[in-house]
Amino acid sequence: MREIAVSEITRNIREMCIEANHFLGRDVKNALDDGEKKEESPLGKQILGTLEENLGIAGRDMIPICQDTGMAVIFLNIGQDVHFTGGDLYDAVNEGVREGYRDGYLRKSVVGDPIIRMNTRDNTPAVIHCEIVPGDQVEITVAPKGFGSENTSRIFMLKPADGLDGVRKAILAAVRDAGPNACPPMIVGVGIGGDFEKCAEMAKHALTRDLDEEPEVSWVRDLKREMLEKINQLGIGPAGLGGRVTCLGINIETYPTHIAGLPLAVNICCHVNRHTRRTI
């Protein structure tokens, strides 16, 4: 049994909240570079160039990439041989978010009640997903999620008879309906299978995966390539002003499901697909 003080969780999450809001992963940066080269619309190419310039300024001057510094989404893969000491794990996670958003001068966007809407003033509570895995380590993923794109996400409870063609149509419908409201160029996370909440969690988690990652299952691999091509044929383009580069990348996760269902979730993110990962 390995003991980990929850203060270590707090410290890492504090640092990761600040890091994620100022730097994008190399995979997203490469996708932006490639998009600027491929974009044929002069205005679209200019917009992509401006986004890259903004990204450079954010890292150099430690200014958030986007003014919407998001609701903190935390994925914890906890080794079954880990014992936490010194306090409650969820309290430690939220304290890390609290300190990160305070010390990083990040915008606090969370309201404590969805109807009364009084700001909590520290961007807590976070949305926390925990999974128990083999081993004695803890993998932490911090993914601040802005709501311009979050609000365009969709869940479809398809019928088994809808099949792969229904999946294709649903993904394209979600992106088409999102249009400029998702602040394109976008990144698309898709969850297929499970049940109502499982497919949504998979779609969110898919956004934290490397865009260059190739799915092991052949039909998922083919669907990923096909959907990226078809989304970029919609003509939405950078900032929704037309062009070839609507989507920088798409990731798909799957899970077994019930004989009577085919749940599908599409979680959309703008190009500011922020996430950082550490293992302790």
What's the one-letter identity of residue 224?
A: K
What's the one-letter identity of residue 129?
A: H
- CA–CA dist 238, 44 (Å, integer): 5
Neighbours of 49 (CB within 10 A): 14
* Tens digits of residue pLDDT in 204-215: 999 999 999 999
- CA–CA dist 151, 171 (Å, integer): 15
pLDDT the model gives residue 156: 98
Neighbours of 74 (CB within 10 A): 23
pLDDT the model gives residue 261: 98
pLDDT the model gives residue 175: 98
Query: Residue 258: which residues within 8 A CB-CB, separation 6 or more?
Result: 195
Query: Residue 151: which residues within 8 A CB-CB, separation 6 or more?
Result: 181
Q: HSE on the CB side for 110, CA within 13 Å?
A: 20
- CA–CA dist 190, 144 (Å, integer): 18
Q: What token pair was written down for 271?
A: 């190009």
Instruction: Give the phi and the psi of residue 76 in degrees, each rounded to 5.
Output: -120, 120
Contact assessment for residue 78 and residue 138, using Cβ atoms and an 8 Å cutoff? yes
Residues of the chain scoring pLDDT < 50: none
pTM for the model: 0.95
H or E, element range at 116: none
Cα 130 to Cα 93, 104, 157, 195, distances in angstroms: 11, 25, 25, 18
Strand segments (E) across 150-241 = 154-158, 186-194
Helix, strand, coil % in the chain, rounded to nearest 5: 40, 25, 30
- CA–CA dist 256, 199 (Å, integer): 10
Q: What token pair was written down for 95?
A: 């304290």
Q: Give the mean pLDDT of the chain.
A: 97
Point out which residues pair with 251 in neighbouring strands.
Answer: 189
